[in-house]
Structure 1
Amino acid sequence: MKLFEWSLRLKGFPINEAKKTLNVIENLTTEQYSNYLSKQLLAIVDFHLEHTPFYKSLCECIDTSNWNDLPVLNKSNLQQPLEHRLSDKYTPKTIYTNKTSGSSGTPFVFAKDNFAHAITWVTFMQRYGWFNIDLNTSKQARFYGIPLDTKGYYKERFKDWLGNRYRFSVFDLSDDALEKVLRKFKRTQFSYINGYTSAIVQFAKFLERKNITLKTICPTLNVCIVTSEMLFDDDKKLLEQQFGIPVVNEYGAAELGLIAFQDKHNNWLVNSNHLYVEILDDNNQPVPYGQTGKIVITDLYNRAHPFIRYELGDLGSLSTKSTLQHPVLEKLIGRTSDLVQLPSGKKAAGLTFYYVTKTVMSKEANVKEFIIEQLELDTFRVSYVATETLTEAQKEAVQQAVDIYLEPNLKLYFEQETVLNRQKSGKLKQFTSYL
C-alpha cells in the first residue's frame, strides 16, 4: 500500500499531476530544457508581479525584463506576517505553510501552493529511488529533533508512522541513549538512515568505540542520507566504515525542498526540475562555473509565495562540468553545527536550539535573528535582534525550554543587539561553542 503517497493526496497535494510534469521535464532535450527554463522563469516573475503586491513593491523602478536586475530576496525581507507576502490568488487556508528551521539564525514562516509542494515530494521520491529507496515501503531510521510537548510529540510520531520511519531524537547523544538506538537497529528492518549529520556522526563514533559495523546487525540497510549540516570528508569515511553502506550528501531547505543530491558516482546533482540555482557575486551578478559565490535559488512553480532569486545564506560553487540542464554542486560552505556539551556529560546536536528558540518566535516575527554561544560548560549567551526587548516572561519561557530539551540549571544571559556578527560566508552560525 502506498501509504505515504496516499497521505499526501488526502491533504490535497496533486501527486499524479506532479509525477507527469516531472516525467516531461526529465525527457527534455538540451534545447527543449533551455526553452522550458526560460518560459518558467518568465512565467513565475510575471505571475508574482501581477498577483503579489509584496513582490511588485520590491520591483518598483526596476527593469523586470532583465533577469540580472531583479531583486535578490533574503530572509530578512520575508520576516513579516505571511499574509503580507501571499499571492492574492491564495489564502492561508488553501496553501501549505511551515517554518524554516532557523539554523541560519533567521527563521520565518513560508508558504507553498499545493502543486509546488507536490512536485517537491515527487523529486524526493525520484532521487531516493536512485538508491532503491521507496518512500512508501522503505523503513527509515530518522535522526531528527522532535517536539517534547505532548501534542507536538504525538503529531510528529503520527507523521513518522505515515512516512514509514522511526525517529531517534538528537537531543541526547550520550552512550546510554545510543545504546538504545543500537538495540532498535538490531530488531528493526531499516532500509536507510536519514537525518542531521552531526548526530549521525556521533552514532558512528559510538559504533567505532564498540567495534561494530551497523550493516552486520541490520543487513536490510541500503544507504545513509545526511542533511541539514556540512558533511566533511573524514566524517563521510567514518560513516561508510561503521555503517557498511553508501553515504549520500543531501542539500536542502524547508522552504525550497531538495536542492542537491549525490548520485551513485558522487556527483552532487542540483535539482533543476523545479529549481533554478544561481551563484552570484557581491553585486548579485552571476559568476562563472567553478567560482565561489552566494547561492541564490528560484522556485519555478511556487505561486503562493515568491521565492525568486532567493538568497539562502550559503556560499558555494557549481562545477565546471555543469550544464544548464544538469548543474553539479562542487562546493558548499556553511551549514556546520557544533555539538552542545553539558555538565552532566550529555551531548546534543547544535540544532537543538532551533526547538528552544521556537518558544520566542511569533507571527509578528518579533525576534529577527539570534545566535547562541556556549561560554562555559553551564553558561550560554543568547544574542538577538528584535523589534522589542524580550520580556522576563519570554526569557523564562526560553529557560524552561532549555531545561526540557537540554537539562536544568544551565545559565542563560540575554543580550539584545542591533546587528549580529556574521561568518565570513555571510551566514549566521546559530550555535558556537567556545569550550
Structure 2
Amino acid sequence: MLKLFDLTLKFNGYPIKEAKAELRKIVAQSTTEHQLFIENKKREIVEFHLQNNAFYQQLVGSKTFKSWGDLPILNKQNLQKPLNERLSNGYNSKNTYVNKTSGSSGDPFIFAKDKYCHALTWASYMYRFGWFGIDFNRSIQARFYGIPLDFIGNKKERFKDFLSKRFRFPVFDLSDQALEKVLKKFENTKFDYLNGYTSSLVLFAKFLRKQNLILKETCPTLKVCMVTSEMLFEEDKILLETQFGIPIINEYGASELDLIAFENPEGEWQVNTETLFVEILDDKNNVLPYGQEGRIVITSLFNKAHPFIRYDIGDIGILDAKSTLDKPILKKLIGRNNDVALLPSGKKAPGLTFYYVTKSIIEDDGNVKEFIIKQTKIDTFEIEYVSETELNLEQIQKIKQAIALYLEPNLAFKFTRKNALERTNRGKLKQFTSLLK
C-alpha cells in the first residue's frame, strides 16, 4: 500500500524512515540502557548548543558546564526575540521546521526544529497512535481544530489534510446549526478516529446528548478519540465516552517540543522519554521527588537547530510516585483550560480560536510579549497586551479584520497596553476568559 503520509514527510525533507528506525531502537532498550541513553543525550545536546549556539552560550554564561543542575531554566520570555538570533550555527529558516506556538499560555513566540528532530516528533506520534490501531497512512481522522481562513493558508492546510487522510471541522462556529452539518458528515464518512481541542469535542458531545445520539452508532467505524491542547476534566471525559461510545485518550503536547505525555492502553498518562527529558521543579528550581507538585520543565534531546534545554513550559504537574526514569507517569496536569466565547449570532467558539486571531499580531520582531483576551459582553472583548511599542492603527485594523473573519463582524474590541498582565497564583496567564454569566 502507498504510504502517502510518510512520502509527504520525506518529500518535504523530513527523514521519517530513519526517524522511525531510531525510535524503534530507543523503545527496545532495557531499563539500564535507556537510563544511560537519557544521560548521554542530555550531555550531548547541552554540549552541542554550548559550542554552536550563541544565544544559549549567553544564557549559560559559559561554553562549558559542570553539572545538569547548574544549567539555567529557559522560559518563554527568553525566547521572545527574533528567531535568527536563537538558531544554531548552520541552521536558518529555510533548512528547519519553523512554526509559532499557540500562545495558549499568553506568551507567544516563533520556534524552529531541525528536520531530523521534527521527523522524530512525527515518528513519536505514529508510534503512540499505533497503540490504538491508528495508522497515519491509512486511518481517516475527523479533525476538530482551527484552520487559517486566509486563502493561501486555508488551501495549504486543506491540502495537508488531504494528504494526511484528515477531514477538518473548523471550530470557529460550534452552534447547533453547524454541529448538525458535522453530524451529517459522520453519517456519510467511515472515520476511524477523532482528534481535536478538548472544549470543541465537549461541545459536540453536549450537542449529541441533547439529540439523544451515540456517535459510534452513527459512524460504526470509529475506534478512538484523542483530545489535546486543553485540560480534560473527569466529568468531560465521562460525557465524551458516553456520547461518542469509544475510548477517550488524553494527549499532552507542545508544538515547540513533541508529544509530552500520551495515555497508554493501561489508562496511564505515560511521559515521552524517547525524545524528551521531563523534570518537575519547585520555585527555587530544585528537582522534586515523584509525587510532588511543581513546574514542568522539559529538555528536547534531539533539537540541534534551537535549544529547548530545561525549558519551563508554563504548566504545573505531578509525576506519579510509581514513576521510573524510563517510564514516568504524569499523574496530574494543572492548567490549559480555556473558556468558550458566545457570540451575538448564537455561534460558540472555543478560546483557542483566538490563537488564529492573535497570530496576526505575533510578529517575529518580538514586540508583543504577552496578551490576554476577555469577553466582557456578548459583543464586546478586551485585549490586554504587553509590548515594547504600542500597536499602531494598521496592526489594530489587521486584528479587527481577523476577528471579523474568524468570529463574526460588528464585534467591539478595546485594546489596552499594560506593563504587566494579571496572572493566576501559579503564575500562568489564561489567554481567553469569558466574563459572561
Task: Name the TM-score, length of structure 1 as normaliser.
Answer: 0.99
Which stretch has the larger CA shift, 322-331 or 406-415?
Answer: 406-415
Counterpart of 2:35? 34
Residues of 1 paired with 2:90 and 2:410: CA distance? 50
Counterpart of 2:238? 237
Per-residue Cα deviation, 1:303-341 (whole angstroms, up to 9, x for no partner): 000000011100001001100000000000001010001
Residues of 2 paired with 1:370 and 1:170: CA distance? 21
Do the aligned partners of 2:105 and 2:314 also contact (CA within 8 Å) in 1?
yes
Counterpart of 1:321? 322
Residues of 2 paired with 1:115 and 1:131: CA distance? 25
Do the aligned partners of 2:282 and 2:288 also contact (CA within 8 Å) in 1?
yes
Residues of 2 paired with 1:393 and 1:15: CA distance? 42
Per-residue Cα deviation, 1:90-135 (whole angstroms, up to 9, x for no partner): 2222111111111111111111111100111001000000000000
Do the aligned partners of 2:51 and 2:63 also contact (CA within 8 Å) in 1?
no
Residues of 1 paired with 2:52 and 2:260: CA distance? 26
Do the aligned partners of 1:373 and 1:380 also contact (CA within 8 Å) in 2?
yes
- Deviation for aligned residue 1:30: 1.3
Which stretch has the larger CA shift, 212-221 or 354-363?
Answer: 354-363
Counterpart of 2:213? 212
Counterpart of 1:340? 341
- Deviation for aligned residue 1:89: 2.6
Counterpart of 1:191? 192
Q: Which runs of 5+ in 2 are unaligned?
A: none
Counterpart of 1:265? 266
Residue identity in the other structure for 1:311? D
Counterpart of 1:281? 282
Counterpart of 1:22? 23
Per-residue Cα deviation, 1:234-282 (whole angstroms, up to 9, x for no partner): 0000000000000000000101110000011110000000100000001
Residues of 1 paired with 2:343 and 2:94: CA distance? 42
Counterpart of 1:310? 311
Counterpart of 2:161? 160
Residue identity in the other structure for 2:367? N
Quick check: 1:423 aligned with 2:413?
A: no
Do the aligned partners of 2:112 and 2:305 also contact (CA within 8 Å) in 1?
yes
Per-residue Cα deviation, 1:126-151 (whole angstroms, up to 9, x for no partner): 00000000001000000000111111
Per-residue Cα deviation, 1:376-419 (whole angstroms, up to 9, x for no partner): 11111100001100112211211121111111111111110111
Residue identity in the other structure for 1:118? A
5 Å-filtered alignment, 1:20-419, equals: 20-60=21-61, 64-419=65-420
Task: Name the TM-score, length of structure 2 as normaliser.
Answer: 0.98
| Paired residue total | 435
Do the aligned partners of 1:402 and 1:408 also contact (CA within 8 Å) in 2?
yes
Do the aligned partners of 2:47 and 2:64 also contact (CA within 8 Å) in 1?
no
CA 1:127–1:371: 2 relative to 1, 3 Å: same
Residues of 2 paired with 1:147 and 1:14: CA distance? 27
Residues of 2 paired with 1:87 and 1:393: CA distance? 34
Per-residue Cα deviation, 1:276-297 (whole angstroms, up to 9, x for no partner): 0000001111101011100000
Do the aligned partners of 1:62 and 1:69 also contact (CA within 8 Å) in 2?
no
Residues of 1 paired with 2:289 and 2:263: CA distance? 22
RMSD of the TM alignment (CA)?
1.0
CA 1:61–1:95: 2 relative to 1, 3 Å: closer
Residue 154 of structure 1: SS of its match in structure 2? helix
Per-residue Cα deviation, 1:79-98 (whole angstroms, up to 9, x for no partner): 11111000003222211111
